[in-house]
Amino acid sequence: MRSRVLLLFLFLRPCFSEFTVVTSDSSNLVDSPQTGFSSRARTDPNEQRAVYEIMAATGNTWAASIPDVCRGRWHGIECMPDSDDVYHVVSLSFGALSDDTAFPTCDDAPHGGATLSPAVLRLPHLRSLFFYRCLTANPQPIPAFLGRLGSTLRSLVLRDNGHVGPIPPELSNLTLLRVLDLHGNRLGYSIPSSFSSLINLQLLDLSGNQLGGAVPELSSPTLSVLDLNHNLLHCRIPSSLSNCESLLKIDLSRNRFIGSIPDSLKSLQNLILLDLSHNSLSGGLPCSSKNGYISLQSLILSGNPMISATIPEDCFAGMKKLNTLILSGMGLEGPIPESMSELQNLRVLHLDENKLNGSIPDSFKGLDKLSELRLEDNRLVGRIPFEKEMMWRMGRKLKVSNNSGLCFEMGNGGDEGLESMAGISYCDPETMWRVGEENSGRVGTKHLSAWMGGGWRNSVVSRSSAEIRAIGVLQICFLLVMFFIFLVV
């Protein structure tokens, strides 16, 4: 989980920088470092009045006491001058993003809860509008008037504000928008089909809402992050996503997607993370050829009921950079391919809660970077091949329970890691080749649970009936010999 959170942060970090860093455009603003205000510098008076109204609507009435909002600006407002030294508001941000980023919060306004004022339409140079956890006390729809903000707007972030109702289709008028983030609200209905016209998007995050229906045909060549997780989307994954050739991350997890995974996605040569987990996808795994998914580092497909599907031998041959592979709870059958040991960058591998059979490939002990392996709740048999160093490295993140045919050879590293394998049998060296076989009723195993308390306790070695009879005869012979010695003495 930690690795997944870190990877998500790395994806979003460049996007957050765009929330506060103003980018250049073709307007007449002077886009160069500002060393200070000249004596004649001033804020555009119409924009200053608009800012007063916007701040008052969010409960920040203190702003009205600032005679010039650009010269006396606070953290959360950004201004740029034009050639006449008149300053214009280009960015407004609200909400406590972090302890180091103290934007104005949205307190109770004088006449009710905080609102997003239409006065933002009087900021003709606005490029970034950011509201974070700011309107939750007064849940309200996203205002349709935001679609009239004009061609200067580059970033619109309304994140975790409790917004309700549909996404206004008017937002598709913002054709130069690069960032659209509506995460963590209570938005319903469907994603407007007109979003296909947002061809300059770099990030689209609609996750954590209640959106249903289909995903519109997206074709932005600059789109790098698409996050629609935790919604109610019910459709096939559009193959047109392959037209978004800059995609780094696709997260469609925890929806109701159906059908097969489009084969065209393998052409996304920059894709790093693909999370399609917890849907209703079928039709087999997204295998790669030598030229498919060449940059993929994380593939997460758990919770899709691909009943009776198998893992093809060379399914992951083209994914040389893969470090996280999650295939839990998919109903997969058959053996674990030996070729998976060729994924030398693999750190996290989950194959638990399937119906996999056969043995754990002996070559898995060559996965030097593997730190988390989950194989529990399968039908695996045979010897667990990992040695001391690997057991130490994985510790409790090695999970192999509920595989009744597995056993562990104690010579491979003493008791390291045994706390994560309670219930797994110990392979008796003398009879290890018979483990899992019904050969004359002989089974040579001892349970590791007997070792857990500090040594073998009440361990049982079951024997055939012939062995038991032979031991009985030997015991009788021993007693007779002792009796004759006693008589002679």
DSSP string over 31-63: -S------TT-EE-HHHHHHHHHHHHHTT-GGG
pLDDT band of residue 113 (cuts 50, 70, 90) is confident
Average pLDDT along the chain: 82
For range 351-360, the mean pLDDT: 96
As a whole number of angstroms, the distance between CA 487 and CA 68 comes to 120
pLDDT band of residue 201 (cuts 50, 70, 90) is very high
pLDDT band of residue 461 (cuts 50, 70, 90) is very low
Which residues, in sequence order, are CB contacts of 13 under 8 Å at separation 6+?
none
As a whole number of angstroms, the distance between CA 120 and CA 153 comes to 11
For the cut 70, the answer to whether the pLDDT of residue 469 exceeds it is: no
Q: What pLDDT is attached to residue 30?
A: 63
Task: Quote the distance between the C-alpha of residue 426 and its chain's center.
Answer: 36
As a whole number of angstroms, the distance between CA 284 and CA 276 comes to 13
For range 75-82, the mean pLDDT: 92
Q: What pLDDT is attached to residue 97?
A: 76
As a whole number of angstroms, the distance between CA 266 and CA 370 comes to 25
Q: Six-digit token pair at 77? A: 């407002």
**pLDDT tens by residue, 32-56:** 545 455 667 899 999 999 999 999 9
As a whole number of angstroms, the distance between CA 335 and CA 356 comes to 6
For range 185-198, the mean pLDDT: 96
**pLDDT tens by residue, 265-291:** 999 999 999 999 999 999 999 998 778
As a whole number of angstroms, the distance between CA 73 and CA 70 comes to 5
pTM: 0.82
Q: What pLDDT is attached to residue 98?
A: 73
pLDDT band of residue 10 (cuts 50, 70, 90) is very low
**pLDDT tens by residue, 207-228:** 999 999 999 999 899 999 999 9
For range 249-257, the mean pLDDT: 98
For the cut 80, the answer to whether the pLDDT of residue 466 exceeds it is: no
What radius of gyration do the chain's Cα atoms show? 32
Q: How many other CB atoms sit within 10 Å of the CB of residue 324? A: 21
Which residues, in sequence order, are CB contacts of 418 under 8 Å at separation 6+?
408, 448, 451, 452
As a whole number of angstroms, the distance between CA 151 and CA 172 comes to 11
pLDDT band of residue 200 (cuts 50, 70, 90) is very high
As a whole number of angstroms, the distance between CA 142 and CA 132 comes to 13
Which residues, in sequence order, are CB contacts of 204 under 8 Å at separation 6+?
180, 195, 198, 218, 223, 225, 226, 227, 228
Which residues, in sequence order, are CB contacts of 241 under 8 Å at separation 6+?
218, 226, 247, 250, 262, 264, 265, 268
For range 167-195, the mean pLDDT: 97
pLDDT band of residue 124 (cuts 50, 70, 90) is very high
Q: Please report, to the nearest 10 degrees, the dihedral formed by the alpha carbons of residues 435, 441, 446, 447 taken in order.
A: 90
For range 66-84, the mean pLDDT: 90
Is residue 357 within 8 Å of 331, Cβ to Cβ?
no
| Range in 59-73, 349-363, 389-403, 413-427 with the lowest mean pLDDT | 413-427
| Range in 62-71, 251-260, 351-360, 416-425 with the lowest mean pLDDT | 416-425
CA distances from 422 to 188, 360, 382, 419, 425 (A): 46, 18, 16, 6, 9
Q: Six-digit token pair at 408? A: 């562990």
Q: What pLDDT is attached to residue 421?
A: 65
Long-range contacts of 341-344 (CB under 8 A, 24+ apart): 341/366, 341/367, 342/317, 343/316, 343/319, 343/367, 344/320, 344/368, 344/369
Unique residue bearing structure tokens 């795994």: 285
As a whole number of angstroms, the distance between CA 91 and CA 131 comes to 11
Q: What pLDDT is attached to residue 23?
A: 41
> Among 244, 324, 317, which residue's Cα sits nearest to residue 287?
317
Is residue 155 within 8 Å of 130, Cβ to Cβ?
yes
Residue type (1 letter), 281: L
DSSP tag of 239:
G
Which residues, in sequence order, are CB contacts of 404 under 8 Å at separation 6+?
none
pLDDT band of residue 241 (cuts 50, 70, 90) is very high
Residue type (1 letter), 19: F
Q: Six-digit token pair at 36? A: 């200070």
pLDDT band of residue 150 (cuts 50, 70, 90) is confident
pLDDT band of residue 138 (cuts 50, 70, 90) is confident
Question: What stretches of 128-286 adopt beta strand conformation (E)?
Answer: 128-132, 155-159, 164-165, 179-181, 186-187, 203-205, 225-227, 249-251, 258-259, 273-275, 280-281
For range 383-392, the mean pLDDT: 87
As a whole number of angstroms, the distance between CA 278 and CA 163 comes to 25
As a whole number of angstroms, the distance between CA 267 and CA 394 comes to 34
